[in-house]
Structure 1
Amino acid sequence: MNCANVAFSARPLPGRRQAVFHRAFALGLLVVALTGCSSFGREWRATARQPAPVADISGRWEGVWVSEVSGHRGRLRAILTPETNQVWRARFHARYAGLLTFGYTVRLHTTAVADGEVRFEGEADLGKLAGG
C-alpha cells in the first residue's frame, strides 16, 4: 500500500466569526441548491398538467443514468420540447447519491433510422464535478 505524507496547516477563525461564517456558508449552499432545482420542478409539474401528446414524444420522461466509468447511478428526469422538425430541447435533472442534484439542457438532433425509429444525438460538457 502506498501512503503519502501530507502536511496541513490552518488557523481557525475566532469563535463568533467561525459560527457566523458556517451559518452564512450553509445558507448560501441551501439557496444555490433550491434555486437550481426550482425552475426544473416548476416546469416538470406544469408539463404534468398538460394532456399527454399523441403524435410525438414531447413531455416528461423519467429513467436512470449510469456512469460507464464508476458504475454510479441515480434518477434522471427529462423534459423534451420540439424546437424544429429535427431539433429537440432536452432539459435534464439528475440525482446522485439520493440527495445531490444537477441540471442541464442539451439540444438533440434527430435522424430517422428505420421502421419509425428515431436516433437522438447531442452532447454537453458537465464539468468535472458532474463526471464530464
Structure 2
Amino acid sequence: MKHALIFRVVLGLILSSCLSSCGMAFRSEWKKAPVTSGVEGKWQGTWLSDENGHHGELRCVVAAPISRKLAVQKFFYHATWKTILSGSYEAMHTVQKQKDGTYTFKGEHKMPDWAGGLYHYEGTIKGDEFKANYKCAMDHGTYVMKRVR
C-alpha cells in the first residue's frame, strides 16, 4: 500500500514536471520578483512531511495582493523531492496583518486525488521568517523559509 502511494506520487510529479510549463513559469516569476518587505517577494527554504519524513527544497514567490479589499494573494510554490523531482503550483491565500506586524495566512489548493486532493495551508510571516503547515488527505507537514534578498 505504502509503495503504491509513493509510486503514484512520484509518477505524478514526473508527469507534471515533463508535461507542464509550470517549471518554466516559476523560474520566470522568480527572476522578476522584486525584493520587498511584508509578504511579497521571494522565499526559500524546505518542506518536511510529518506523515512519512519526506522532505526537499522549497521556494515561493508571493505576488502583490490580487484584491486589497479581500486580502487575497497568489503564492507560487516550487518544491523538490529526492533532489531530482520537482513541481510547481499556485495557491491563493488570504493574508491578514496582525497588530504586532506579523502576517497570518490561510488558503487551499486542489491537487489531483493521487497527490492528496485538497490541500489546506495555514502560516505566519514575521519579518524574514516564513512558517506554515499543510494538510491533505494523504499527508501533513511544514514549510520553513527565509526571505531572499
Report the TM-score when normalising by structure 1.
0.64
1:127–1:67 distance in 2 versus 1, CA, 3 Å: farther
The verdict on how the C-alpha distance between 1:29 and 1:53 changes in structure 2, with shifts beyond 3 A counting, is closer
Separation of aligned partners in 2, 1:112 and 1:30: 34
- The answer on whether the counterparts of 2:17 and 2:23 sit within 8 Å (CA) in structure 1 is no
Structure 1 residues 130 and 116: alpha-carbon distance in aligned structure 2, compared to 1, 3 A threshold: same
1:44 aligns with 2:30: yes
Task: Give the CA deviation at 1:127.
Answer: 3.0
Structure 1 SS opposite 2:108: coil
If each structure's helix is expressed as a fraction of its own residues, which one has the higher value?
1
1:109 matched to 2:94? The reply is yes
Match of residue 70 from structure 1: 52
Identity in percent: 26
Higher relative contact order (CA 8 A, sep 6+): 2
Q: Residue in 1 aligned with 2:77?
A: 92
Q: Which runs of 5+ in 1 are unaligned?
A: 1-27
The answer to whether the Cα contact below 8 Å between 2:43 and 2:60 also exists between their aligned partners in 1 is yes
Cross-structure match for 1:58: 40
- What's the secondary structure of 2:67's corresponding residue? coil
Which is greater in Rg? 1
Within 2, Cα distance between the matches of 1:30 and 1:126?
A: 14
Amino acid in the other structure paired with 1:46: K
1:4-15, aligned counterparts within 5 Å? none
Q: Secondary structure at the match of 1:124?
A: strand
Q: Which has a greater percent of strand? A: 2
Conservation of the 8 A alpha-carbon contact between 2:95 and 2:103: yes
Give the alignment's Cα RMSD to 1 decimal: 2.4
What is the aligned length?
A: 100
TM-score (norm 2): 0.57
| Unaligned segments of structure 2, at least 5 residues | 1-14, 118-149
